[in-house]
Amino acid sequence: MAIKDQILTILEKSRTAELEFIANLTEIQKGAPGTYENWTAKDNVAHSNYWVDVRGARIVTFLSGEELKSLPQYEQANSECYEQFADSSWDEVQAFAEGAHKQIVEAVRRLDEEALMGSAIGTEERKLWDEIVEIAYTHKLNHYSQFYQDHGQKKKAGQLLSEWVELVSPLDEEPEWQGNVHYNAACSLALAGDTEGALVELRKGLELRPSSKAWSRLDSDLESLHNLPEYKELYAPAFWWEALEANPQAEAVADQFMRMLSMFRIAVSAFSEEAWREGDSLYQRPAGLALHIAQSIDFYSALKPGDRSEDPLTQIAWEERDAAKLPSQKELLGYLDKVEVRLASFIAMSDFQADEKLFPWTGITVLSRVQYNLRHAQHHLADMAMELQRRGFRPPDWQ
């Protein structure tokens, strides 16, 4: 099926889902007062369609050849949208929603396949069809699904996500897209009470789209999975859970380090074997730079003087001029496995408010040292990402 036909089908399904959402509301829900911090069903409908209207109008402007204006700033626009519709009747909001829907449908009908498969208007970061699906379908469903959950209707929320999965899955075979599809399938199954099926889908989703891992631990859609051992294994290795459950500070620190380390591993693996030991300077040589990052994390994870791992790579200077003496990617990742276990133990066992005595140059408390360690690793990880880009390799996605 042509991409245009698929998008038009999705737009009609989005509108149908919206009408069903409105029809299922009780009179109390329809008449409930709200605030900007606590949106009612009417506020959600107005907000969702405000952005459909903005993007639809933008496509119409693009097709007419007129000059495009910048998109409104998100939070300011949301606030203005709330004020605009807060005192509107349901009939007025529904009329606005119908108009926004018709506008974007007509705009899509005027677009050809090449335009839909091309870059979104004003950015090269995503395809136009992706932007349309996101704003006119996914965004709406997220709001309506959350409303259902907040009002004790988890099965209805799961049904919305299940329909989303069925419709959007054929749009793109790329891992990032399919990872998102499997992730939402997991959410749908979890809300429906099928924890076993949800875990299967979630595993696929996180393998294809690792950037979803951190959010998955906070996602209310997956709340029924959060205490299951199988879920915990998906989110983090067992040695991290003592830190994650120690206290709020340790949890936050562990979470940030885990994200950084995941990106670091991806960066290490992204270089070719030939490029791994090459570089015009020490800070452009991936093998040495990666060793420096791992050794520094190791060094600053000490719980007492002289505390350090016994891996042979601790004896190699990262500035070693003979590149052949530097570790291979496999050796570096093996060393990092040990370092990560030490880091997790350090975070779990440390009193972050205690005075910093081992490394006073990092700050006055142990928390200062932790932040110093993380900042240092991220600084040099950025160096590696720049080298990947410069050499034509893909850098790690942000996590």
In this predicted model, what pLDDT tens digit does every residue of 352-373 receive, in sequence order?
999 999 999 999 999 999 999 9
To which CATH superfamily is domain 3-153 assigned?
Answer: dinb family like domain (1.20.120.450)
- Model confidence at 126, pLDDT cuts 50, 70, 90, reads confident
Domain borders along the chain are 3-153, 172-235, 240-390
- Model confidence at 74, pLDDT cuts 50, 70, 90, reads confident
Report the pLDDT value the prediction gives residue 38, as an integer from 0 to 100: 92
Q: Cα–Cα distance between 293 and 234 in angstroms, integer?
A: 25
Taking residues 160-184, what's their average pLDDT?
Answer: 91
Report the pLDDT value the prediction gives residue 215, as an integer from 0 to 100: 80
Taking residues 140-160, what's their average pLDDT?
Answer: 90
CA atoms 81, 161, 59, 101: torsion sign: negative
Taking residues 45-74, what's their average pLDDT?
Answer: 90
Phi first, then psi: give them for residue 133, nearest 5 degrees: -65, -40
Q: Cα–Cα distance between 252 and 255 in angstroms, integer?
A: 5
Tell me the CA distances in angstroms from 374 to 43, 248, 298, 314, 317, one per residue in order: 41, 17, 12, 19, 21
112-116, 138-142, 211-215, 244-248: which has the minimum mean pLDDT? 211-215
The domain made up of 240-390 has a fold known as: Four Helix Bundle (Hemerythrin (Met), subunit A) (1.20.120)
Contact in structure between 329 and 319 (CB atoms under 8 Å): no
Contact in structure between 6 and 171 (CB atoms under 8 Å): yes
Q: Is the fold of 3-153 the same as that of 240-390? A: yes
Taking residues 294-305, what's their average pLDDT?
Answer: 95
- Per residue in 75-103, pLDDT tens? 999 999 999 999 999 999 999 999 999 99
Confidence (pTM): 0.69
391-397, Cβ contacts within 8 angstroms, sequence gap of 24 or more = 391/271, 391/275, 393/270, 393/271, 393/272, 393/275, 394/270, 395/267, 395/270, 396/262, 396/263, 396/264, 396/266, 396/267, 396/270, 397/210, 397/211, 397/263, 397/266
- Model confidence at 147, pLDDT cuts 50, 70, 90, reads very high
Report the pLDDT value the prediction gives residue 398, as an integer from 0 to 100: 86
CA neighbor of 273 nearest in space, from 393, 397, 385: 393
- Model confidence at 6, pLDDT cuts 50, 70, 90, reads very high
CA atoms 149, 152, 158, 159: torsion sign: negative
Across the chain, mean pLDDT equals 93
Q: How many helices (H) and strands (E) does the chain have?
A: 19, 0
Token digits for 39? 């949106």
- pLDDT surpasses 80 at 125: no
- pLDDT surpasses 80 at 378: yes
- pLDDT surpasses 90 at 192: no
Beta bridge partners of residue 365, listed in sequence order: 355
- Per residue in 267-296, pLDDT tens? 999 999 999 999 999 999 999 999 999 999
SS (H, E, C) 121-149: CCCCCCEHHHHHHHHHHHHHHHHHHHHHH
Tell me the CA distances in angstroms from 244 to 10, 199, 202, 204, one per residue in order: 40, 21, 20, 23
